[in-house]
Amino acid sequence: MAEAEEDRKPQSDEAHSAFAPVGGVDQATGPEEDHPSSEFTIPTGLRIPQLPEDKESSAFTPPPAYDAQQPPAFTPPGGIPVVRLVKEAPWQDRMRTILRTPVAERPAPEPTQRHEEDEGPAVPRVLDLTLRIGELLLAGGEGAEDVEAAMFAVTHSYGLDRCEPNVTFTLIAISYQPSLVDDPVTASRTVRRRGTDYTRLSAVYRLVDDISSEDVDISLEEAYRRLAELRRNRHPYPGWALTGAAGLLAGSAAVLVGGDVLVFVAAALGAMLGDRLAWLCAGRGLPEFYQFVVAAMPPAAMGVAISLLDLPDVKASAVITGGLFALIPGRALVAGVQDGLTGYYITAAARLLEVGYLIVGIVCGVLMVLYLGVTLDAGLNPETSIHSSDRPWIQILASMSLSLAFAILLQQERSTVLLVTLNGGVAWVVFGALARAGGISPVAATAVAAGLVGLFGQLLSRYRFASALPYVTAAIGPLLPGSATYFGLLEIARNNLNPGLASLSKAAALALAIAIGVNLGGELSRLFLKAPRAAGGQKGRRAAKRTRGF
């Protein structure tokens, strides 16, 4: 017995409690008066459970107060609310709710598509189909959260649980883990080319909606066939129609800011010439930055030429402003701000950097021509107001024609052109009523008008189970800060840096007001829809939680 005790493994240091009595201290009487107390001394009255001496303790020994039948609770007293998806709600809201829910709290998927011979889904093919759909959406200008929601809808419909999509500016990836003990399967795809075709974007949304519907049976082969068909579809408008739409957009913008018939014709000719030059540069393989530089020069040259001719009652500034309206990247700006507001900061930073490069290209093209005009004493006067407030009906018609031309440039479906045209007219009416009749700040009026555009666009998209971009992007065209951008560039060309930077800052504030207003209108629109709710009466939609600010 004595030999067994000697051969016994000594207790590890981890087995000793951090509150073990200090050697030489009697717990009953406490420390002596002439010895200072230690911060590790056991407080009087504290009872420490002692292990039996005949049992060895280990670092893995459970505490004496631990009960395996009733483990300590790490959840709230009422439990974690179970997310229940309302099937009547649009699939965008249902999938967005799942994405904003932690993985451990997500409900089990309810497959809407059957599989052959009940063998389960072909995981590699489902992931590949999901990536191809996400690639088309991201290349078409859709926001990162909406792309992830669509990807999650596809995998959710085919019964793949524990899927995590990840979307950045040029890379989309998805990871699937069959179970907690299996290795995850990860696939990725790179988006190398981006183009604007909202007709194709709407077709992709219809495909995702059919896959998510319980009333439509779409096998993987059928989904691949439909995806290949919409990839092969040609654009709905030919090249000459796009060039004409660019001219109509610039001419309408020029009339919107105070131009007449001659200004309309000059702005349209300058924009069409710039569009053709940009197409020529694109065919030669020049980067998009130089395409914007070249496209911005003809409208500015047209305005300088009108100033040199010294025609009476002809506003050359309206010609240049109309050309800038056709070039400002409003679509990329709205998408970038939307990604930032929803928590996709990497994608938002990349999109906004792209917008910055394009705007710098526009600035370079316009400034080169304006410097030439100032040198030739073209008579460009930045103090001349280009807004006209005494012809509201003409401006409403100009704003509607501007939205119409913008919709054609975005390759929208013909069935959506009329709705987005009316939405653009409503945006200008609201802006004019607030900024001019009401005397409200132009930035605040722009934000309110853009909020209504986003509200109506989201409601229309949910009614048709489609993307909101075709109903929103073209409608914000009349609100773009073309005049503030032009006056800022003109002041810089005249070496008046402070007024120029102030005007450019106003243009940036207007652009941010448009983007934030559109996003806020989209968020408000979901308040009128049936959103997923949690158990226990907790209604509402989960917010896009990414950080807590600390």
C-alpha span between 104 and 75 (Å, rounded)? 12
- Torsion (CA) 111, 114, 115, 118 in degrees, nearest 10: 90
Q: Which residues 6+ apart lie within 8 Å of 461 measured at CB?
A: 467, 468, 470, 471
Rg for the chain, CA atoms, rounded: 32
Helices (H), 284-409: 288-309, 316-325, 330-341, 345-375, 392-409
Amino acid identity for residue 384 in this structure: T
- Torsion (CA) 130, 132, 134, 137 in degrees, nearest 10: -140
Q: Exposure of 343 by Cβ count < 10 A (0-12 exposed, 13-18 middle, 19+ buried)? A: middle
C-alpha span between 469 and 420 (Å, rounded)? 10
The pLDDT of residue 185 is 87
What is the DSSP annotation of 122-163? Answer: -HHHHHHHHHHHHHHHHHTT--HHHHHHHHHHHHHHTT--SE
The pLDDT of residue 133 is 92
C-alpha span between 137 and 150 (Å, rounded)? 9
Residues 142 and 242 sit within 8 Å (Cβ to Cβ): no
- Length of the chain equals 550
C-alpha span between 206 and 216 (Å, rounded)? 12
Paired residues of 187 in beta bridges:
174
Paired residues of 173 in beta bridges:
166, 188
* Range 293-315 burial, b when 16+ CB lie within 10 A, else e: bbbbbbbbbbbbbbbeeeeeebb
Q: Which residues 6+ apart lie within 8 Å of 195 measured at CB?
A: 139, 140
Mean pLDDT of each 10-residue bin along the chain, 550 residues long = 51 48 49 53 62 56 57 51 54 69 64 57 86 89 86 86 84 85 85 82 88 82 88 81 89 84 88 90 87 90 83 76 81 81 85 86 86 74 52 87 90 87 90 83 87 84 75 85 76 79 83 82 68 42 42
C-alpha span between 238 and 123 (Å, rounded)? 40
Q: Which residues 6+ apart lie within 8 Å of 129 measured at CB?
A: 154, 220, 223, 224, 227
The helix (H) or strand (E) run that includes residue 83 is: strand 83-84
The pLDDT of residue 219 is 84
HSE on the CB side for 91, CA within 13 Å?
27
C-alpha span between 468 and 522 (Å, rounded)? 9
C-alpha span between 431 and 408 (Å, rounded)? 23
How many DSSP H helices and E strands does the chain contain? 18, 5
C-alpha span between 476 and 510 (Å, rounded)? 11
Tell me if residue 534 falls in helix, strand or coil. strand
532 phi, psi to nearest 5 deg? -60, 145
Q: Which DSSP letter does residue 15 get?
A: G
| Secondary structure E strands in 153-224 | 163-167, 171-176, 185-190
Residues 356 and 348 sit within 8 Å (Cβ to Cβ): no
The pLDDT of residue 400 is 92
Tell me if residue 441 falls in helix, strand or coil. coil
Amino acid identity for residue 406 in this structure: F
C-alpha span between 229 and 502 (Å, rounded)? 50
The helix (H) or strand (E) run that includes residue 533 is: strand 533-534
C-alpha span between 299 and 270 (Å, rounded)? 4
Q: Which residue has the tokens 């050697």?
A: 23
HSE on the CB side for 111, CA within 13 Å?
15
Residues 280 and 271 sit within 8 Å (Cβ to Cβ): no
Work out the number of other CB atoms within 10 angstroms of the CB of residue 468.
Answer: 25
- Torsion (CA) 92, 344, 541, 466 in degrees, nearest 10: -20
Residues 432 and 496 sit within 8 Å (Cβ to Cβ): no
The pLDDT of residue 28 is 47
Token couple for 44 = 């009087």
